[in-house]
Homo-oligomer: A and B are copies of this chain.
Amino acid sequence: MAPSGSLMGTMETHIGMSRHASSTDIDTYMASLGAEARRASALMRCIDTGRKNAALRAMAQHLEASRARLIEANARDLQRGREAGLDAALLDRLALNETRFNTMLEGLAQVAALPDPVGEIDGLRSRPSGIQVGQMRVPLGVIGIIYESRPNVTVEAASLCLKAGNACILRGGSEARESNAAIAECITAGLVDAGLPEAAVQVVATTDRAAVGRLIAMPEYVDVIIPRGGKSLIERISRDARVPVIKHLDGVCHVYIDASADRDKALAIAVNAKTHRYGTCNTMETLLIDAPVAAELLPSLAAAYAEHGVELRGCERTREVLPGVAVASEDDWFAEYLAPVLAIRVVDGVDAAIAHIERYGSHHTDAIVSESYSLARRFMAEVDSSSVMVNASTRFADGFEYGLGAEIGISTDKLHARGPVGLEGLTTRKYVVLGDGHVRG
């Protein structure tokens, strides 16, 4: 998982001691991870599908065989986390219980079962010059992933990068360091079993924050950075990175209920989009409702939200129908609550809805509920979000629901990958030209 020798010894000491190395040590260490990854990526590019799948299955076997040891390591991380006063949500993410462990193993099997995107050639066409031109899907190269203290992400990220033919450098949250180190050993063992280079997956073996600063600034070794975590972390990484970043910022998602909407569909979607899960990025944060149906629909919606314990904050026109609702401030329209809170605004038709989404939204996922063919078509074309939906809950914006088979994250960027990112987002395409002695005239 990491270069051997004295430096690695230093790093291991650091893990144990939780102390910081000098910045020169960190620079040397990260550069050596980078160089190893670059070398491994050149090999990984050409590894056939069967061997990659064998490595994924071997990793699962090693994880299963080490289950007790892993759960113990995780227990020590949890204990340290509790002592350090981590909040319940963080501790929950950190925990590797039996269910989550099984899901992690299933994930490996699922990724092994996915079609290999590498080598696929699209659109091979004959040109007037006589050459044939197509585009071959190929790995990106070396991917750096920076994530929070969720040990299962270590396995998820490693498996997706590997299946797409990349080498990866993984930097998990320091609270999960013992869990990650134990998982890393199983991943390495799986790579070795399948005859793949150990440096195909490297877990950064220091909790020093300077390691992140180096990882995102080595364009000679790293082709793309994928940060997963809180908005401020991602913003900082995007600002400082010297390599491209595939990022996910906030999800301020909207459902717009048009006057033409079917009442039952509108209620079902508006309730599901808010209450199915509160902490996810594709949860609706603001409900927009067309003025002619506000008086009719808002009371039923309010009753349903009350049942789920959702706090409502509304515009003045909402409060005319629902006087008990708190006033929504300008900040509420921008808010990603990630909590049982919902902003509601009465708008005048689809144009006002689109204007609101354009001004306050985060271009993540937005839905219209409407029976109007023309309005549905307009909403789909005009709303500039990574997912645009007609008569469906925003909660569907997800790699599994979309059929990607797996998801490394959801991109709110426009370039390269937009929306849920699966294996394809971890690849790129190069042109291939087949000739028979052809020259340009």
Residues of B within 8 A of A439 (CB): 268-269, 271-273, 276, 392-393, 395
Stretch at the interface among A5-13, A299-307, A413-421: A413-421
Q: Which of A261-300 contact B (CB under 8 A)?
A: 262, 264-265, 268-269, 271-273, 276
Q: Tell me, yes or no, whether A360 is within 8 Å of chain B by CB.
A: no
In the complex, per-residue mask of A105-141: 1 if CB is within 8 Å of any chain B CB, else 0: 0000000000000010000010101010100101011
Residue of B nearest to A436 (CB): B391
CB distance from A49 to the nearest CB of B (A): 12
Q: In the bound complex, what is the Cα–Cα distance between A188 and B220 (angstroms)?
A: 43
Provided the pairs A402-B127, A418-B428, A428-B415 are in contact, do residues A437 and B268 lie with their beta carbons within 8 angstroms? Answer: yes
Given contacts A127-B401, A433-B389, A438-B391, contact A414 B223 (CB under 8 A): yes
Nearest B residue to A239 by beta-carbon distance? B242
Q: Please tell me which stretch of A156-164, A335-343, A379-387 contacts chain B, meaning at least 4 of its Cβ atoms lie within 8 angstroms of it.
A: A379-387
Q: Choose one: B45, B224, B381, B393; the contact of A440 (CB below 8 Å).
A: B393
Instruction: Please state if A437 and B141 are interface contacts (CB–CB under 8 Å).
Output: no
Q: Is A348 interfacial (CB-CB < 8 Å)?
A: no
A133 engages B402 (CB within 8 Å)? yes
0/1 string, A35-59, CB within 8 A of B gives 1:
0000000100110000000000000
Is there an interface contact between B434 and A392, defined as CB atoms closer than 8 Å? yes
Q: Which residues of A325-381 have CB atoms within 8 Å of chain B's CB atoms?
A: 358, 367, 378, 380-381
Is A396 engaged at the interface, CB distance under 8 Å to the other chain? yes
What number of copies of this chain does the assembly contain? Answer: 2
| A217–B367 alpha-carbon span in the complex (Å) | 32
Q: Please, which residues of chain B bring their CB within 8 A of the CB of A268?
A: 437, 439
Does A20 reach chain B (CB closer than 8 Å)?
no
Contacts A/B (CB < 8 Å), 24 sampled? A42-B384, A45-B382, A119-B381, A127-B403, A131-B401, A138-B384, A140-B415, A224-B414, A239-B242, A244-B244, A244-B413, A268-B437, A268-B439, A273-B439, A386-B430, A387-B431, A389-B434, A390-B435, A392-B439, A396-B435, A414-B428, A415-B415, A418-B431, A420-B431
> A391-B434, A396-B433, A401-B440 given. 5 additional CB < 8 A pairs?
A133-B403, A393-B435, A397-B433, A418-B430, A420-B431
